[in-house]
Amino acid sequence: MSVPSQRHPFHIALLGLCLVHLAWFAWQQVEPTLGIAGLLYANGTPVGGDFVNLWSAARLVLEGRAEDIYRYKTLMAYQVGLTGAPIGVRFWAYPPHSLLLAWPFGLVGFYPALALWSLLGLAVLGYGCRRLGLGAMETAIILLSPACLLCLFYGQTGNLATGLLLLALAPRLGREGGAATAAALLTMKPQMGLLLPLFWLVERRWRAILLTSAVTLVLVGLAWLVFGSIVWSDYVGVTLPGLSLLERHGTGPFMLMIPSVFMALRILTGDGDLALMLHLALAVPVVLLAGWRLRSVQEPMRRAGVVLAGTALLTPYLHNYDLTMVAVAALVALRRFAPGQRGELAVCVFSVLVLALPQMVVGLNLVGLPISPFVILVLLLLI
């Protein structure tokens, strides 16, 4: 059973909690903001977090030095010149056709570029919510959710990627060009679209699959022509191995921000290689479960929720600022329980837990209780 209306009475409570969190989050940023000097906070971290990676990559493209982007030590040295201080280990971790999207942000200064990037992510996320079928209040909850705010704070790609995924999952309206374009752009962050091919196969959307493949090939070919082959060989031979080594054996605050099965197992076992193998083994039943439910569930919104929650369980490289996709899945789960229906109160409370998960995962991982994947699994089962 699903709620026939787009508005559930508990949406008002969720929106209120999001506004309270927004006020608290903004208050927490007052003192650091007053200490900004140049592009850095007083503690030496860059304003906009990881956006400095995109902006520096864009500047390198405009300077004709695209080949330096995937040699991450060279990239980090360039960033020192931009910020005036070392800012830690930095990668541009996305495949080279992502530079087709990134380079225009180098045409303006850092702060205007950060503002434009943030607005782009919010616009695509909001549009994706509406195209999927979320109501105005549901969309407002997502745009004010902790995951969305964290993505803005860290200058990351989670809002944009989730918006693109929602557009690809939206019910088809006539031709498949929009969904295919969104999916092709999502290949710039492929871990966010792991279940999308399965979803389209179940729905027999052959045109969408063919168009996505064609647009992706065009983007990859264009990037090859514009930036050369060296960026691809460096991406595969330098950046990806370095990133994998960092995720499996590196230490630092990033470990606290990852709610994946892989990181939970790494924290519990202390062995990154073992954790990755176990993660891949556990991914098999998740894919089978998702495939089974996609075939048996007929309601489009629930199918989309299966993809969103299932993807969050499948990818080993998911961060708390990527969890807008899980927030959307929580609203899908809430739709299944009408007011007064048995289990509704428990699901309402659980939806608060899911929306708070981006903030909670840090503390849970810090104290050695990495239970975030279990929360996401329960969400998948509810959907």
State whether the Cα torsion 351-356-357-360 is positive or negative.
Answer: negative
For residue 226, the one-letter residue type is: V
Q: For position 364, what pLDDT does the model report?
A: 96
**CB-CB contact of 310 with 300 (8 Å):** no
* Per-residue pLDDT reduced to its tens digit, 260-292: 999 999 999 999 999 999 999 999 999 999 999
Q: Is the pLDDT of residue 252 over 90?
A: no
The count of C-alpha atoms lying within 13 angstroms of the C-alpha of 9, restricted to the half-sphere facing its C-beta, is 7
How high is the pLDDT of residue 6?
59
Under 8 Å CB-to-CB from 260, ≥6 apart: which residues?
Answer: 279, 312, 313, 315, 316, 317, 318, 372, 373
The rounded distance, in Å, linking the Cα atoms of 194 and 65 is: 32
**Average pLDDT of the residues in 330-345:** 88
CB under 8 Å to 40, separation ≥6 — which residues? Answer: 46, 47, 83, 84, 85, 87
State if pTM tops 0.75. yes
Over the chain, what is the mean pLDDT?
A: 93
CB 185 within 8 A of CB 164: yes
pLDDT, mean of residues 114-133: 97
